């Protein structure tokens, strides 16, 4: 029985064996193949497939390939690559053949028993209702037999990618700043150190060997506990640190003083652009929006890599950013999130003379919480958000004055001295909250008061369902 929960907002993801297995993966390949034929109007479209370092990724590649072959697609296999390299392949030609779709087999920053598929068709994300609709077809036809046929043409996209990066950033050659990188036993170093070496950069590296069991630390650089090794190194001679998640589409950037989140990275990049148009998610600091709007345009949009890619293309913006470290460059690049490319754009800022710590220290001081996750259920989380929105309209006189409520993704409640966010995660059964103010005690007050709204809403929803 195929579990419909594997079909998620941004991708397909589940536990290998019980959820992602031979039957489900073959059917996903088959129906994705049919969808590609339908959308491209090409009878034998070309799909490029790569995979991350997880132990079951090559097996899933074989199953997925069988499904695509059954549908009549031509499969180009690139082996183990970073997600950015996978996306990059979609913009290239291989023996005169240009891909029509791509799949990256990756569990990203999930635990090692998970894996999944990130999908593009005609260089656009395949997500949301498209994934849910395809999932319904697969569940209705889950007894369909798809024979083994994992034939594919092997391609070398890593060499193309490395040559592109070395040429694009040739001006950085010989930079003297001492760098430390942490690949987290993910796939970043399927290309990264070759590029660093070609540019003769001064670096040392941690955990470069791809290992899908992630023996040194969990591959999620958005959590401080996973950065302890690189932070320790920065106490010595190293000046800058870079860390990557399992599939290298998210980056952590550290100086001796700061763990620079994605929204602040976007602000730093905007300083170098003329009339920048930058897209941020609802979790981004207000400082980013205010400062970018002083010289260009900052747009607040939904969280999620697929959402931001679509909005980036729609507005033809220069870049987009998530706090977690997904950085999307449309300026001089292809508009997808690639932590390896972002590494060299950050080094370029330093090379061109930007004092990162000084720039950050000059920003107004605000107190921001990390993401706080509140457990709920898949069935309850969206009705709970509706109840929270209702209750925000009924707050009493003891509640901080609300200036505005932005509902682009959950609720971002604008107060007189800051804001609070409540949104339902599209990938896990949690509500995500974040709070920011110019005053620490007021930030705590916003957190307390909005948590009261959440608790009251949970109780009311429970009473209704019981």
**E strand or H helix at 79, and its extent?**
strand 74-80
Structure tokens at 164: 């592109």
CA distances from 38 to 43, 48, 49, 185 (A): 9, 17, 19, 38
251-255: strand order across its sheet: 203-206, 179-182, 240-244, 251-255, 259-260
Residue pair 207/184 in contact (Cβ under 8 Å)? The answer is yes
CA dihedral (307, 142, 121, 129) positive or negative: negative
List 13, 345, 423, 434, catalytic entry: 13
Q: Which residues face 47 on adjacent strands? A: 75, 101
List 217, 326, 423, 434, catalytic entry: 326
Residue pair 109/289 in contact (Cβ under 8 Å)? The answer is no
List 90, 108, 324, 437, catalytic entry: 108
DSSP-derived letter for residue 364 is: P
User: Has 108 been annotated as catalytic?
Assistant: yes
What is the rounded CA–CA span in Å between residue 75 and residue 48?
6
User: How far is it between the farthest Cα atoms of the chain?
Assistant: 69
Q: Give the list of residues 6+ apart from residue 398 with CB closer than 8 angstroms, or none.
A: none
What is the rounded CA–CA span in Å between residue 376 and residue 428?
9
Residue pair 100/126 in contact (Cβ under 8 Å)? The answer is no
What is the rounded CA–CA span in Å between residue 158 and residue 337?
17
Residue pair 275/318 in contact (Cβ under 8 Å)? The answer is no
Tell me which residue has tokens 């959440």: 454
Tell me which residue has tokens 């605000």: 366
Strands (E), 210-333: 240-244, 251-255, 259-260, 277-281, 297-301, 319-321, 327-329
Q: Which residues face 375 on adjacent strands? A: 430
**E strand or H helix at 119, and its extent?**
strand 114-121
Q: Which active-site residues does the annotation give? A: 13, 108, 326
């Amino acid at each position: 029985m195929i579990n419909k929960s594997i079909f998620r907002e941004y991708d397909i993801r589940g536990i290998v064996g019980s959820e992602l297995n031979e039957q489900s993966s073959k059917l996903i390949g088959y129906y994705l193949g049919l969808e590609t034929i339908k959308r491209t109007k090409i009878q034998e479209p070309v799909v490029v497939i790569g995979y991350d370092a997880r132990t079951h990724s090559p097996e899933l590649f074989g199953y997925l390939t069988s499904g695509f072959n059954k549908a009549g697609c031509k499969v180009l296999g690139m082996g183990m690559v970073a997600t950015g390299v996978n996306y990059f392949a979609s913009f290239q030609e291989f023996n005169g053949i240009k891909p029509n779709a791509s799949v990256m087999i990756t569990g990203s920053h999930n635990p090692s028993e998970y894996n999944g598929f990130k999908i593009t068709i005609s260089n656009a994300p395949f997500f949301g209702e498209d994934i849910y609709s395809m999932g319904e077809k697969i569940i209705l036809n889950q007894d369909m037999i798809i024979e083994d046929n994992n034939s594919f043409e092997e391609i070398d996209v890593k060499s193309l990618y490395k040559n592109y990066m070395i040429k694009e950033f040739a001006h950085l050659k010989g930079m003297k700043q001492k760098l430390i990188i942490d690949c987290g036993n993910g796939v970043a170093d399927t290309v990264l150190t070759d590029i660093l070496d070609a540019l003769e950069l001064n670096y040392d590296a941690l955990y470069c060997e791809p290992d899908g069991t992630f023996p040194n630390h969990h591959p999620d650089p958005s959590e401080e506990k996973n950065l302890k090794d690189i932070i320790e190194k920065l106490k010595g001679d190293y000046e800058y640190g870079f860390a990557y998640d399992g599939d290298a589409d998210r980056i952590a950037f550290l100086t001796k003083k700061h763990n620079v989140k994605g929204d602040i990275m976007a602000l730093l990049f905007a300083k170098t652009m003329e009339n920048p148009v930058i897209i941020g998610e609802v979790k981004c600091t207000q400082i980013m929006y205010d400062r970018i709007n002083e010289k260009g345009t900052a747009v607040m949009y939904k969280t999620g890599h697929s959402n931001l890619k679509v909005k980036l293309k729609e507005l033809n913006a220069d870049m987009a950013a998530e706090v977690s470290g997904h950085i999307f460059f449309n300026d001089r690049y292809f508009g997808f999130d690639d932590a390896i490319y972002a590494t060299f754009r950050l080094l370029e800022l330093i090379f061109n003379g930007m004092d990162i710590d000084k720039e950050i220290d000059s920003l107004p001081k605000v107190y921001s919480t990390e993401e706080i996750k509140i457990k709920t259920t898949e069935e309850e989380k969206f009705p709970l958000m509706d109840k929270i929105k209702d209750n925000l309209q009924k707050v009493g006189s003891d509640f901080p004055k609300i200036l505005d409520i932005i509902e682009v993704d959950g609720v971002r409640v604008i107060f007189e001295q800051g804001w609070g966010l409540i949104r339902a995660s599209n990938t896990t059964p949690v509500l995500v909250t974040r709070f920011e103010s110019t005053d620490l005690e007021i930030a705590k007050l916003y957190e307390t008061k909005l948590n009261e709204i959440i608790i009251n809403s949970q109780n009311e929803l429970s009473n209704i369902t019981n």
